[in-house]
Amino acid sequence: MKYFRILLLLLVFPLVSATSAHKFYVSITKIEYVKEKSSLQIITKIFTDDIEDVLKQRYDASISLDTKKETEAADEDLKKYLLQKINISVNGKPVKLDYIGKEYDTDMLVAYIEVKDVKELKTIEIENKVLMEMFPEQQNIIHLKTPESRRSLILDKDEPSGKLKFN
Amino acid sequence: MRLLNSLFLTALFLVSAAVSAQDETETTKREPGHYNTNRFKQLYEEFSTPNMFRTASGAPGPSYYQQQADYKMDILLDDKNKKISGFETITYSNNSPDILEYLWVQLDQNKRAKDSKSPLIESSDTAPADMAGNFVQNYMDGGFDGGFNILEVKDAKGSPLKYTINQTMMRVDMPKNLMPGEKFVFSIKWWYNINDHVVDRARSGYETFEDGNRGYVIAQFYPRMAVYNDVEGWQNSQFWGRDEFALPFGNFEVNITVPSDHIMDATGELQNRKEIFTKEMMNRYEAAQKSFDKPVLIVTQAEAEAASKNFSTTNRTWKFKAENVRDYAFATSRKYIWDMMAVKMGSGSVMAVSLYPPESNPLWEDWSTRAVASTLKTYSRMTFDYPYSKAISVSAKNQGMEYPMICWNHGRPDKDGSISERTKFGMISVIIHEVGHNYFPMIVNSDERQWTWMDEGLNTFTQYVAEQDFAEEYPEAIAPNKKYPSRRGPAKSIVDYMAGDQSQLAPIMTKGLNTYNFGANAYAKPATALNILRETIMGRELFDFAFKTYANRWMFKHPTPEDFFRTMEDASAVDLDWYWREWFYTTDYVDIGVKDVKKFYVTSKMNKEVKEMIAARGISESDLPPLVYMVEEDSEDFDESMRNEKLGDVKTLNEYIMENIPAEERSKLKQPNYFYKVTFEKPGGIPMPIIVQYTYSDGSSKKVTYPAEIWRKNDEAVGKVVASEKEITKIEVDPDEETADIDTSNNSWPKRKKLGAFDKFKNKTNPD
C-alpha cells in the first residue's frame, strides 16, 4: 500500500549508479502503531557504509560493519548512536526506546526499535538526526502507520523533528 | 417447445439481471458518453504513424538513414598540470535526405565551465548545504574552471568557421549548405583543465592516490557531433550533468600522448603495440589471447608499484583505431596493473581486459576480468555476438560509467585488504552493468539524452540475467549465497517504489532529467517490467526471441521506444499494447486480490430465486426444461443434506446424461462436487494475469493463470466459477510474488494475517 512516501530509490538504487553524479544521503524509518500490543514498532533502514563512516569517526576507526571483523562492541556503539539520534515523544511525553537488534539487507543496515506501553496515540513527535552531523544533505524519511492512517515526514538538518496529530 | 422454453428462460434471466442492475444505479440524469478508456485499446494515439524511416513492425524502414561522424584526433595529457589538449578533424557525412544549414557539436565539459548553468537548474531556495566543489565553483572567486577553451574552428582549407556556443552546444556555420550525400570536413583545437572526479563526482577526470600519483579516466573530453535524425532533427538538448548522450557512429584514429611510464587502454585497437610493449609484455599478451579460463597479467602488481615510484618527464604516444563506435574514451596512469583473458565469440574470440591500481587488490585480480568475460557471454546470447575486439573494466573510485569497449567501475578492498560482501557484489554488479552497456546503448544506439530507460532499463534487465549466469559460472564467487543477490530485477523489489506517493512518481516514458526517482524510474522499474514480461507474461522463449530480434534489427542504428515496443509484439504475436501503456506510460501499480468466495451446492430442487422469477412471469414449473440449480451455502434454500449430495443424486442432471451421453463416454465425465464462485478484485490500475493457487483439503494444490485480458470488460472485479472434485481450503493470488503486487493483504482466502517484518525479527531475536 502507500507506505513509502518518497525516494524509494534507496531500496533499489545503488550508492553510485551508472550515471548519477551524486550519492543519495537518505534513510527510511517505518513506524507502525500496533494498538493491540500497545507497541510502536520501528524499523529504520540506513546505508551500511554511511553508518559505518559515522561510527568510525565517533567511536572507533576499526569498526567494520557487515564483515567478519564486526564486533559486539560495534553493535553497542550502533545502539548508543541510534538511541541518541532518534527521539520520540508520545502524547507530549518523551518515551523510552528499546533497541532490539539489527540485520543487513544487501547494502542497508536494518535496525529494530520498540516503544512499549503506548495505550493511546494522540500525538507523536519524532526527531531523527541520524547521519546529519556527517552529511549536511542527509534526509531522514519517516513513514508512520496507525490502524486508521498513514502519514509521512521528511526530516533534514533544518527541521530534524516533526509532529503528527491524530483524531 | 423445449427450445422455446430455453430461449424464453434465457431471455428471462437476462431481463431480470438488467432490471436489478438498473434499480441500483438509477439516476435522474442521463450519463454523458465517453472516449474509449479501455485499458486494452491499442496505442494508436500514443504512437506516431509508421513511415518509410521506421516501419509498423518496429524495424528500420526502406528510407532509414543515419549520419556518420569520423574523427582524427591528436591528444596530449599533461599529468603535471592536469590539463588536456587536442586537435581534431571531423568528417561529417550527411546521409539524410535533408539539406543541413549548420552543424551542432556537443561541448560536454562546459558543464564544468565557470558560467555553467547546470547548478542553476538544481534546487533551491533552502538547500541546507552544497557539495564543496560546487560551492567553490558557485560562490567563491577564482573557482575551478573546467570548461572547454575552443582555440579555433576551421574548415578543411584552414579558413576559420563562424561558431556560436550556447552552454554545452556549439553551432558551426558552414560556408554553404550541406546537401544530401555530401561530406563536410572541419577541425577544432581545444584544451581544458581536468577535474578531480572524486571531489565533484564526475564521470570523467582524475583521482589522486595516497602516493600522489593520479589515475585518469577520460571521457566526453572532445567536441563531439550531435545526432541528426528523422525523429528529433538535431538532438541538441543541453547537457545538464545527469542525463547521458546521443551520438552518431563513426570511425576514429586517435593518438594519445601521455608520460612514458603510463599504462593506458582505450576504445579501439592499439596500432603501435610493438613500439609500446616490451618483449616480455608482448609474450604475455600472446599468452592472454590463448587463455580462455583465467586472466594473464600484462603488467604485474610489482611492475606497477615500481613505476609508481617515479614520474617520467618524457612522453610517448599511443595510437588507436576504432571502427563503428559512437564515442571514445581512455584510462591512463602509471599505477595500472593490466590483465586480459580471451572469450570465445562466434567463430573467433575477443578480449576481456582490466586496468586497476594495486589499491584494488585483492579483489580485482580475482573477479574483474572474469566478470567482463561472463558478461560478454550472457549478453551475446541474449542479443548478438560482441562485435568489438575487447571490453575493458577500469578501477576508478566511486565510478560506474560506460563508453564503447571501456568502462569505469568502483569497488576496492579496505586498507587492510579485507573485502565486505557489499563491496564484492557492488563491484561485480557494476562491472556487469557497465560492460553490458556496450550492447545498450553503445551498439543498439538509443537516444540517452531523451529516453534514459531505453539503455538503462534494457541494460539493467540484461544485467539481472547476467548476474544470475555469473553465479552459475562462478559459484565460489557468491558462496555462501546460492543465487546472485541481484538488487534489481525480481518483481517484489520494485513494490516499494511503485507503492510510493504519486506526486513523486513519473511514467517510465519521461525524459530522464525530469524524473523524480532517477534510479527507480529509469533503471529498476523498466528492468523489472521486462523481467515480468519475460517470466510471467510472455514466457522466456517468446520474449527472448523478440528481444534478440530488437537487438539485431537496431544493432549499430538509432532505435526509438516505439521501435522496441513494436518489435516485441511483431516477433511474438503477443498483444502488449496494454502492458506498454500501463507499465511505461502511466504510474499505475498492481494490486489484485480475492474479494469474495461463495460456495455453491448443486440440486434438482428449484431455488427461491428461480421460483420468484417464474412466478412473476406466470410460468409454472412444468413449463421449464430440466434444470440444475445452484444453491449458495448461506442462502435460505440451503439445507445441510446438500453437503452430502453427489452429482449422481441430481435427477435432472442424471436424466440428461442418460439420454444424451453414450454409456462408454459417461465414465470419462468429471465429477465435481464442490462449486465456488470466486470474485477477484483489482484495486490497482494495472491489469495483470490473475495467477491463482488453489489448495485442496488433501494438501495438494494447483496453479491456474487467467490472462490479463480477463479484465478487458470489467476493470474492477471479475468472477470465476470453479468446479472442483476436491474441497478447496485456500485460494492465493500471486503466490510466488511475480507481479509486483503492492498490497498482498488481500491476496488470500481465507484472509490470513501475516506476521510483519518487525514481529518476525523480534521473534527471531528473543524467542519467548
- Residues B694/B676, Cβ–Cβ less than 8 Å: no
Q: So what's the pLDDT on residue A1?
A: 33
Quick one: which of B121, B115, B166 has its CA closest to B137? B115
Question: In chain B, what residues touch A14 (CB-CB under 8 Å)?
Answer: 400, 426, 429-430, 487, 519
- A98 has a chain B CB within 8 A of its CB: no
Shortest CA gap A4–chain B (Å) = 5
Shortest CA gap A1–chain B (Å) = 5
Domain count, chain A: 1
Q: So what's the pLDDT on residue A146?
A: 87
Handedness of CA B547, B548, B552, B555 (dihedral sign): positive
Whole-number Å distance between alpha carbons of B606 and B637: 9
Q: So what's the pLDDT on residue B130?
A: 55
- Residues A10/A45, Cβ–Cβ less than 8 Å: yes
Shortest CA gap B523–chain A (Å) = 8
Does B126 sit within 8 Å of A158, measured CB to CB?
yes
- A154 has a chain B CB within 8 A of its CB: no
Q: What would the grid cell of residue B73 be?
A: 584526433
Q: Residues of chain B whose pLDDT is less than 70? A: 1-27, 119, 121-143, 767-768
- A119 has a chain B CB within 8 A of its CB: no
Supply the angle between the helices B540-553 and B561-570 in degrees, to the nearest 10.
Answer: 130
Look up residue B23 and give its DSSP letter.
H
What is B68-123+131-450's CATH superfamily?
Answer: tricorn interacting facor f3 domain (2.60.40.1730)
- B173 has a chain A CB within 8 A of its CB: no
Does B488 sit within 8 Å of A9, measured CB to CB?
no
Whole-number Å distance between alpha carbons of B447 and A50: 34
Is pLDDT at A47 greater than 90 in this prediction?
A: no
What would the pLDDT profile of B411-422 be if each residue is shown by its tens digit? 999 888 888 888
Q: So what's the pLDDT on residue B134?
A: 56
- A134 has a chain B CB within 8 A of its CB: no
Q: So what's the pLDDT on residue B262?
A: 98
Is pLDDT at A125 greater than 50 in this prediction?
A: yes
Shortest CA gap A80–chain B (Å) = 19
What 3-state class would DSSP assign to B46? coil
Chain A, nearest residue to B491 by Cα: A12
Interface of A with B in 29-68 (CB under 8 A): 32, 41-43, 48-49, 64, 66-68
Shortest CA gap A93–chain B (Å) = 24
Q: So what's the pLDDT on residue A22?
A: 36
Place of cell 507497541: A39
- CA B192 centroid distance within chain: 35
Question: In chain A, what residues touch B201 (CB-CB under 8 Å)?
Answer: 16, 21-23
- Residues B273/B257, Cβ–Cβ less than 8 Å: no
Interface test with B, best of A12, A47, A65, A158 (most B CBs within 10 A): A12
List C-alpha distances in Å: B413 to A78, B214, B410, B474. 23, 19, 10, 20
Q: What angle do CA B446, B447, B448 make, to 5 degrees?
A: 105
Whether A99 is covered by a domain: the verdict is yes
- B196 has a chain A CB within 8 A of its CB: no
Q: Which amino acid is at B605?
A: K
* E strand or H helix that includes residue B297: strand B296-299
Quick one: which of A82, A124, A100 has its CA closest to A41? A100
What 3-state class would DSSP assign to B349? strand
Whole-number Å distance between alpha carbons of A13 and B326: 27
Whole-number Å distance between alpha carbons of B90 and B211: 39
Residue B517 has its nearest CB partner, among A2, A7, A158, at: A7
* Helix (H) and strand (E) counts in chain A: 3, 10
CB neighbour list of residue B714: distance below 8 Å, 6 or more residues apart: none
Chain A, nearest residue to B204 by Cα: A21
Q: What would the grid cell of residue A24 be?
A: 543519495
- A114 has a chain B CB within 8 A of its CB: yes
Interface test with A, best of B201, B217, B440, B523 (most A CBs within 10 A): B523
- Residues A63/A76, Cβ–Cβ less than 8 Å: no
Q: So what's the pLDDT on residue A23?
A: 52
- B406 has a chain A CB within 8 A of its CB: no
DSSP state letters, A8-69: THHHHS-SS-SS-SS---EEEEEEEEEGGGTEEEEEEEEEHHHHHHHHHHHT-TT--TTSTT
Q: So what's the pLDDT on residue B305?
A: 98
Does A32 sit within 8 Å of B201, measured CB to CB?
no
- B757 has a chain A CB within 8 A of its CB: yes
Residue B487 has its nearest CB partner, among A12, A16, A32, at: A12
Whole-number Å distance between alpha carbons of B488 and A17: 12
**CA distance between the termini of chain A:** 21
Does B499 sit within 8 Å of A2, measured CB to CB?
yes
Q: So what's the pLDDT on residue B131?
A: 57
Interface predicted TM-score (ipTM): 0.80
Q: What is the pTM of this model?
A: 0.86
Question: In chain B, what residues touch A137 (CB-CB under 8 Å)?
Answer: 127-129
- In the 3-class helix/strand/coil scheme, how is B708-761 assigned residue by residue? HHHHCCCCCEEEEEEEECCCEEEEEECCCCCCCECCHHHCEECCCCCCCHHHHH
| Count of alpha carbons within 13 angstroms of residue B688, beta-carbon side | 30
Q: Buried b vs exposed e over B361-389: b needs ≥16 C-beta within 10 Å?
A: bebbbbbbbbbbbbbbbbbbebbbebbbb
- B150 has a chain A CB within 8 A of its CB: no
Q: So what's the pLDDT on residue A12?
A: 34
pLDDT band of A4, cuts 50, 70, 90:
very low
What 3-state class would DSSP assign to B478? helix
What would the pLDDT profile of B650-677 be if each residue is shown by its tens digit? 888 888 898 899 989 988 888 898 999 9
B710 phi and psi, to 5 degrees?
-60, -25
- A23 has a chain B CB within 8 A of its CB: yes
DSSP state letters, B418-445: ---HHHHHHHHHHHHHHHHTIIIIIIB-
Whole-number Å distance between alpha carbons of B267 and B221: 13
Q: What would the grid cell of residue B121 be?
A: 537548474
List C-alpha distances in Å: B40 to A61, B37, B563, B593, B758. 59, 9, 20, 20, 40
Where exactly are the structural domains of chain B?
37-65+451-588, 68-123+131-450, 589-768
Does B519 sit within 8 Å of A107, measured CB to CB?
no
Shortest CA gap B400–chain A (Å) = 5
Look up residue B54 and give its DSSP letter.
B
- Residues B442/B325, Cβ–Cβ less than 8 Å: yes
